[in-house]
């Protein structure tokens, strides 16, 4: 049995530029940049739903969500 790598050591999905770690090990992934920045939680359904925001707004929302989301990350397989 091997110890799983912490989430920050795994390769990030394509397009993800920043990740905010939640208390239970999910991440809120930020994609894009500038005026075309999106975000998505890997634990729950929270996200920008295909809409784009200025990166300041997207990061603020992603971080705020990461601080309070308690949904577990979905299995990757």
By CB under 5 A, name the binding residues for Zn ion. Answer: 41, 43-44, 46, 69, 71
What is the nearest approach in angstroms of Zn ion to the Cβ of residue 43?
A: 4
Cβ contact 4:48 at 8 Å: no
Q: Give the nearer residue to Zn ion in terms of CB position, either 16 or 44.
A: 44
Using DSSP bridges, classify how beta strands 16-21 and 27-33 pair: parallel, antiparallel or unpaired: antiparallel
Cβ contact 68:60 at 8 Å: no
Q: Give the nearer residue to Zn ion in terms of CB position, either 20 or 46.
A: 46
What is the nearest approach in angstroms of Zn ion to the Cβ of residue 42?
A: 8
∠ at Cα 13 (11, 16), nearest 5°? Answer: 110
Q: Give the nearer residue to Zn ion in terms of CB position, either 34 or 68.
A: 68
* Residue given tokens 């975000």 in the structure block: 39
What is the nearest approach in angstroms of Zn ion to the Cβ of residue 67?
A: 10
């Amino acid at each position: 049995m091997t110890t799983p790598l912490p989430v920050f050591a795994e390769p990030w999905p394509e397009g993800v530029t920043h990740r905010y770690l939640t208390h239970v090990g999910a991440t809120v992934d930020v994609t894009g940049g500038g005026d075309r920045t999106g975000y998505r939680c890997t634990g729950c359904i929270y996200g920008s739903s295909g809409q784009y925001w200025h990166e300041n707004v997207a990061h603020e929302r992603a971080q705020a969500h990461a601080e309070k989301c308690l949904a577990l990350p979905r299995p990757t397989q």
